[in-house]
């Protein structure tokens, strides 16, 4: 065990000990190798190239996965086109719906297996994969299944048409859930899909491909091409793709925007964030503390909408920070498959290095760093929950997306100052506000430039609720009736 | 155009419309605008890149007030623009006829359609949120609703052919929801746009909500597409070959880009309005 650079003043240790409560990993059977899912079948990459996906909690290899090259992407797009012009594209909405309902049901039936798989490949706590990722993925298919034969009621005219072949590139933080967010509305609207999961978390998308087979989804309606950035770039740039949907960093989002310029491809982007979580003096403090913790430490902070900037009203700033430290001291970091675990592993060595770099910048720029007493496992990629106080708006940790369990605390005196500070970012994905005053909640909600505003709650998601950003957090919405617009020619 | 006998006409100077004022171009430049048959009509201000940036500053300054106005108020203000145009139909029809080479009856139809289109959009101001918003039935004890909000400062490259109806068709759907606009008028047919700006100035539109530039689209469009304080751009009026470059420039701050060719539509829809709103979703717990 290695000791963390951590200061523990003001924080109590864990109040009581837990016995380990590991979820069994035996429920997941992993093959040694996984192929690409093209035209309804699994096949190796044409070049024979593969890459290895590892368990970030142990650095043990999980499986070898095919790395799709340009030729494979060609074949996947061709398969999607054939399905669009054939079976899936010609199918009536009410029939499409039944396939999506089937997929939702199979996800529910295999929920435990998928949860363990997701925790293995991603490093997130089983509590989260079991209670959030997998049920929401099933719910997303269930929700959009119902739209498939009701598109004329969605508010886009009497007979909205699908776009064609959708190229969809998704991130590693919610691998299965993001696949569901992309596939479900696209399929419901009658499109076919080429999905490129993230390099470090390809497995749940491949399991989802198996589920599509199990559901007898027409071949080619969903294709999964695994690989790294080059594979994603090939999907985005492919002339046979009619629509591009991307979730990931703002930097890559801008590159994709440039790639599709002039192509007439439709584009939606769900990108980074640097959300403000604003706590007023009259907030319900106990609930706010839970909301702050959930806001930034959910999924190790690998959340684009994470509440990474805590804006606290000056009169309660000391109280909130003290209570927050006490609460953080009770968080349990470790084995993602342990049902008691609150903080799992960082997804990759690369991401860990980025978090360390930015946290170090926080210290160097003069903010005060604090972590609870916390020992990190020797193997794997880990970062302790970290809170910076004395942060100013110019600090990198207040401006740049860290995408890790690092919270920057700033203070304010008036609602107007809170809004000015909250909006002082090129991003605009989400925001939080905590107060018992209803009129202040609604005033804040009006003035915060963010696509999602959580009031007296944080990090809630639902398939019926539109999600997406303002400004450099991207454009387009996922979820709800609004999420259909991205996949219809309207 | 001098007249040997009788009264000499009072010619108009065609100026820019920025922040509610009518400046000449800061560059001191102007260009000759001709009628469709080649007859010189007027000198129009040849806006510079600096004028474009000034117009963005004016639009940004007006955004808070316009976006924060009630929808009812915005609807009345737009309706008032229609009232101002109604009284100038004869002048506008003459200008549209000359600019576009239309017979008088066709020019009058274009002007009438422009006024009617403004009325159509004015009526949308306090209905858009009901049609584009939603109450969302989430699976938990939360009240959850979505509302459309203005994207911010939006640049509109007005259609090149339809000098007035085209302009109204792309501008009204942008400002009705609370965006503020920087319009680049039809390059070769700017006179009706200048008269439109003069009508705006006599109505109730707050200064800076609509800013009208005349000049070279090819000179102004890249500056505005790459401007970091512009939130969206309708590039309908740009030449087709310029679109790729403008879209690439717009990536700098991920502007929302609209490029539709069906302008002016015979029957407008909400499509243009949808392109420049942001859907905001608010959650709150339900409990005792």
Percent of the residues in chain A that have a pLDDT greater than 90, as a whole number = 95
Closest by CA position to A239, among listed A312, A164, A183: A164
Compute the 3-state secondary structure of chain A and give helix, strand, coil in percent, each to the nearest 5: 40, 20, 40
Q: Which residues pair with A387 in a beta bridge?
A: A370, A407
Alpha-carbon gap: B150 to the closest alpha carbon of chain A (Å): 10
Percent of the residues in chain B that have a pLDDT greater than 90, as a whole number = 94
Q: Say which of A155, A453, A482 has its CB closest to residue B131.
A: A155
Dist CA B197 CA B207 (whole Å): 11
Tell whether the model's pLDDT for residue B3 goes beyond 70: no
Contact A138, A110 (CB under 8 A): no
Q: State the pLDDT confidence band at A2, using cuts at 50, 70 and 90.
A: very low
Contact B22, B16 (CB under 8 A): yes
Tell whether the model's pLDDT for residue B21 goes beyond 60: yes
What is the residue extent of each domain of chain B? 30-285
Q: What integer pLDDT is reported at residue A242 of this predicted model?
A: 98
Looking at domain A2-8+273-455, which CATH architecture does it have?
A: 3-Layer(aba) Sandwich (3.40)
Q: What integer pLDDT is reported at residue B16 of this predicted model?
A: 98
Q: State the pLDDT confidence band at A488, using cuts at 50, 70 and 90.
A: very high
Contact B124, B273 (CB under 8 A): yes
CATH class of the domain at A31-271+470-487: alpha beta
Which H or E element spans position A278? Answer: strand A276-279
Tell whether the model's pLDDT for residue B241 goes beyond 70: yes
DSSP string, B32-94: EEE-TTS-EEEEEE---HHHHHHHHHHHHHHHHHHHHS-HHHHHHHHHHHHHHHHTTHHHHHH
Neighbouring C-alpha atoms within 13 Å toward the C-beta of A467 = 23
CB contact under 8 A, A451 and B144: no
CB contact under 8 A, A482 and B248: no
A325 upstream amide cis, omega within 30 of 0: no
Dist CA A484 CA A476 (whole Å): 10
Q: In this predicted model, which residue has the larger pLDDT, B266 or A213?
A: A213
Tell whether the model's pLDDT for residue A1 goes beyond 70: no
Q: What integer pLDDT is reported at residue B264 of this predicted model?
A: 86
Q: Is the dihedral of CA B157, B159, B164, B166 positive or negative?
A: negative
**Residue B6 DSSP label:** S
Instruction: Mention every residue, 6+ apart, whose C-beta is less than 8 A from residue B52.
Output: B182, B184, B213, B220, B223, B224, B227
Can you state the angle between helices A285-297 and A317-328, rounded to 10 degrees?
A: 60
Instruction: Mention every residue, 6+ apart, whose C-beta is less than 8 A from residue A202.
Output: A34, A53, A65, A121, A175, A226
Quick one: closest CA in B to A463, which residue?
Answer: B138
Both structure tokens of A385: 């929950």
Q: Is A375 on the interface with B (CB under 8 A)?
A: no
Instruction: Mention every residue, 6+ apart, whose C-beta is less than 8 A from residue A316.
Output: A279, A280, A281, A283, A285
Q: What integer pLDDT is reported at residue B185 of this predicted model?
A: 98
Q: What integer pLDDT is reported at residue A486 of this predicted model?
A: 97
Rounded to a whole number of angstroms, the distance between the first and last alpha carbons of chain B is 79
Round the average pLDDT of chain A to a whole number and report it: 96
- Report long-range pairs for B102-110 (Cβ below 8 Å, ≥24 apart): B110/B162, B110/B164, B110/B165
A60 three-state secondary structure: strand
Tell whether the model's pLDDT for residue A249 goes beyond 90: yes
Q: Which residue has the tokens 């007296």?
A: A456
Task: Name the CATH topology of B30-285.
Answer: Aldehyde Dehydrogenase; Chain A, domain 1 (3.40.605)
Tell whether the model's pLDDT for residue A12 goes beyond 70: no
Q: Is B202 on the interface with A (CB under 8 A)?
A: no
Q: What integer pLDDT is reported at residue A17 of this predicted model?
A: 75
Neighbouring C-alpha atoms within 13 Å toward the C-beta of A20 = 8
- Report long-range pairs for A128-132 (Cβ below 8 Å, ≥24 apart): A128/A298, A128/A299, A128/A344, A130/A23, A132/A177, A132/A461
> Which of A141, A249, A257 to mutate to probe the B interface, most B CBs <10 Å?
A257
Percent of the residues in chain B that have a pLDDT greater than 70, as a whole number = 99
Rg of chain A over CA atoms, in angstroms?
Answer: 22
Contact A209, A42 (CB under 8 A): yes
Closest by CA position to B182, among listed B61, B74, B66, B52: B52
Q: Catalytic residue numbers of A?
A: 270, 304
Contact B64, B55 (CB under 8 A): no
Dist CA A239 CA A237 (whole Å): 6
Q: Is the dihedral of CA A171, A177, A180, A181 positive or negative?
A: negative
Q: Which residues pair with B17 in a beta bridge?
A: B212
Q: State the pLDDT confidence band at B269, using cuts at 50, 70 and 90.
A: very high
Closest by CA position to A249, among listed A15, A490, A426, A487: A426
Q: Is B244 on the interface with A (CB under 8 A)?
A: yes
Residue ranges of chain A that CATH labels 3.40.309.10: 2-8+273-455
Dist CA A163 CA A485 (whole Å): 10
Both structure tokens of A176: 């299965």
Give A 131-150 residues with CB within 8 A of chain B: 139
DSSP string, A185-221: HHHHTT-EEEEE--TT--HHHHHHHHHHHHTTPPTTS
Residue ranges of chain A that CATH labels 3.40.605.10: 31-271+470-487
Q: Is A161 on the interface with B (CB under 8 A)?
A: no
Q: State the pLDDT confidence band at A14, using cuts at 50, 70 and 90.
A: low
Both structure tokens of A456: 């007296």
CA angle, residues A60, A62, A66, in degrees to nearest 5 = 130
A66 three-state secondary structure: strand
**Tens digit of pLDDT for each residue in B153-164?**
999 999 999 999
**Tens digit of pLDDT for each residue in B81-114?**
999 999 999 999 999 999 999 999 999 999 999 9
Residue B92 CA, distance from chain mean position: 17
Closest by CA position to A475, among listed A319, A250, A302: A250
Q: Which residue has the tokens 């202040």?
A: A440
Give B 116-135 residues with CB within 8 A of chain A: 131-132, 134
Tell whether the model's pLDDT for residue B146 goes beyond 80: yes
Q: Say which of A250, A465, A472 has its CB closest to residue B281.
A: A465
**Tens digit of pLDDT for each residue in A351-368?**
999 999 999 999 999 999
Give A 426-455 residues with CB within 8 A of chain B: 426, 441, 445, 450-455
Alpha-carbon gap: B90 to the closest alpha carbon of chain A (Å): 36
Both structure tokens of A282: 């009259």
Q: What integer pLDDT is reported at residue A10 of this predicted model?
A: 41
Closest by CA position to A252, among listed A17, A19, A474: A474
Q: What integer pLDDT is reported at residue A417 of this predicted model?
A: 98
User: B210-213 and A375-376: which strand pairing?
Assistant: unpaired
**Tens digit of pLDDT for each residue in A64-119?**
999 999 999 999 999 999 999 998 989 999 999 999 999 999 999 999 999 999 99
**Residue A385 DSSP label:** -
Contact B60, B209 (CB under 8 A): no
Distance (Å) of CA B257 to CA A368, B56, B222, B279: 42, 17, 13, 16
Q: What integer pLDDT is reported at residue A189 of this predicted model?
A: 98
Dist CA B192 CA B98 (whole Å): 10
Contact A397, A367 (CB under 8 A): yes
Q: What integer pLDDT is reported at residue B4 of this predicted model?
A: 66
CA angle, residues B261, B58, B130, in degrees to nearest 5 = 55
A70 by Cβ neighbours in 10 Å (0-12 / 13-18 / 19+) ranks as middle
Which parts of chain B are beta strand (E)? 30-34, 40-45, 134-135, 142-150, 153-157, 180-184, 210-213, 232-234, 256-258, 277-285
**Tens digit of pLDDT for each residue in A299-353?**
999 999 999 999 999 999 999 999 999 999 999 999 999 999 999 999 999 999 9
Q: What residues of B are in contact with residue A462 (Cβ under 8 Å)?
A: 136, 138-140, 142, 144
Dist CA A184 CA A221 (whole Å): 11
Backbone angles phi, psi at A400, to 5 degrees: -100, 145
> Which of B280, B285, B288 to mutate to probe the A interface, most A CBs <10 Å?
B280
Q: Which residue has the tokens 């703002």?
A: A250
Q: Which residue has the tokens 């797009």?
A: A77
**Tens digit of pLDDT for each residue in A203-219?**
999 999 999 999 999 99
């Amino acid at each position: 065990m290695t000791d963390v650079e951590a200061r523990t003043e003001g924080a109590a240790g864990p109040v009581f000990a837990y016995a380990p409560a590991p979820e069994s990993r035996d429920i997941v059977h992993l093959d040694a190798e996984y192929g690409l899912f093209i035209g309804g079948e699994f096949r190796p990459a044409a070049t024979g190239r593969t890459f290895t996906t590892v368990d970030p909690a142990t650095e043990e290899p999980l499986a070898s996965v095919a790395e799709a090259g340009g030729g494979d992407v060609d074949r996947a797009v061709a398969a999607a086109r054939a399905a669009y012009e054939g079976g899936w594209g010609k199918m009536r909405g009410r029939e499409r719906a039944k396939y999506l309902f089937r997929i939702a049901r199979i996800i529910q039936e295999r929920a435990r297996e998928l949860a363990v798989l997701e925790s293995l490949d991603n490093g997130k706590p089983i509590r989260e994969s079991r209670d959030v990722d997998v049920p929401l993925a099933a719910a997303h298919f269930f929700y959009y299944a119902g739209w498939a034969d009701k598109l004329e009621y969605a508010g886009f005219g009497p007979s909205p048409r699908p776009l064609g072949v959708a190229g969809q590139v998704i991130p590693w933080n919610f691998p299965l859930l993001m696949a569901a967010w992309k596939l479900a509305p696209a399929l419901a609207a009658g499109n076919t899909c080429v999905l490129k999961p993230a390099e470090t978390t390809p497995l749940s998308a491949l399991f989802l491909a198996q589920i599509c087979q199990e559901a007898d989804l027409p071949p080619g309606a969903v294709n999964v091409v695994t690989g790294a950035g080059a594979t994603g770039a090939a999907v985005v740039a492919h002339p046979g793709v009619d629509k591009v949907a991307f979730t990931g960093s703002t930097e890559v989002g801008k590159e994709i925007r440039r790639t599709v310029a002039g192509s007439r491809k439709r584009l939606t982007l769900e990108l980074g964030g640097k959300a403000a979580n604003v706590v007023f003096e009259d907030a319900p403090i106990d609930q706010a503390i839970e909301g702050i913790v959930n806001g930034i430490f959910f999924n190790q902070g690998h959340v684009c909408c994470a509440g990474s900037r805590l804006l606290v009203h000056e009169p309660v700033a000391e109280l909130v920070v003290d209570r927050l430290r006490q609460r953080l001291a009770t968080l349990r970091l470790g084995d993602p498959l342990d049902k008691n675990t609150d903080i799992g592993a960082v997804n990759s060595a690369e991401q860990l290095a980025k978090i360390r770099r930015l946290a170090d910048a926080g210290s160097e720029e003069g903010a005060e760093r604090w972590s609870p007493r916390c020992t990190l496992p020797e193997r794997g990629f880990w970062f302790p929950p970290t809170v910076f106080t004395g942060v100013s708006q110019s600090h990198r940790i207040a401006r740049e997306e860290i995408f890790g369990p690092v919270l920057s605390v700033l203070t304010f005196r008036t609602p107007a100052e809170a809004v000015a500070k909250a909006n002082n970012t090129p991003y605009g994905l989400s925001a939080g506000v905590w107060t018992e005053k209803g009129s202040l909640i609604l005033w804040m909600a009006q003035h915060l430039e963010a696509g999602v505003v959580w009031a007296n709650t944080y990090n809630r998601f639902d398939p019926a609720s539109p999600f997406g950003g303002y400004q450099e957090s991207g454009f387009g919405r996922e979820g709800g009736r609004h999420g259909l617009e991205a996949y219809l020619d309207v | 155009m001098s007249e040997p006998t009788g009264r000499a006409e009072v010619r108009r100077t065609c100026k820019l419309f920025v922040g509610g004022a009518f400046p000449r171009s800061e560059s001191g430049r102007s260009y000759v605008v001709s009628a469709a048959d080649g007859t010189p009509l007027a000198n129009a201000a040849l806006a510079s890149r600096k004028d474009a940036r000034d117009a963005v500053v004016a639009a940004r300054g007006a955004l808070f007030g316009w976006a924060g106005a009630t929808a009812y108020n915005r609807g009345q203000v737009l309706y008032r623009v229609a009232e101002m145009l109604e009284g100038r139909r004869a002048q506008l029809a003459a200008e549209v006829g000359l600019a576009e080479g239309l017979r008088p009856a066709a020019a009058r139809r274009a002007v009438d359609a422009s006024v009617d289109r403004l009325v159509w959009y004015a009526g949308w101001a306090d209905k858009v949120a009901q049609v584009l918003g939603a109450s969302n039935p989430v699976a938990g004890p939360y009240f959850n609703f979505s509302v459309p909000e203005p994207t911010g400062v939006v640049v509109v490259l007005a259609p090149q052919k339809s000098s007035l109806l085209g302009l109204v068709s792309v501008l009204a759907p942008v400002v009705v929801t609370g965006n503020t606009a920087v319009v680049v008028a039809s390059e070769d047919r700017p006179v009706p746009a200048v008269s439109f700006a003069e009508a705006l100035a006599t109505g109730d539109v707050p200064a800076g909500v609509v800013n009208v530039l005349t000049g070279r689209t090819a000179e102004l469009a890249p500056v505005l597409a790459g401007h970091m304080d512009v939130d969206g751009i309708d590039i309908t009026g740009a030449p087709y070959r310029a679109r790729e470059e403008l879209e690439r420039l717009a990536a700098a701050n991920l502007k929302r880009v609209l490029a539709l060719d069906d302008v002016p539509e015979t029957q407008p829809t909400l499509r243009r309005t949808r392109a420049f709103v942001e859907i905001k979703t608010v959650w709150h717990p339900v409990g005792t």
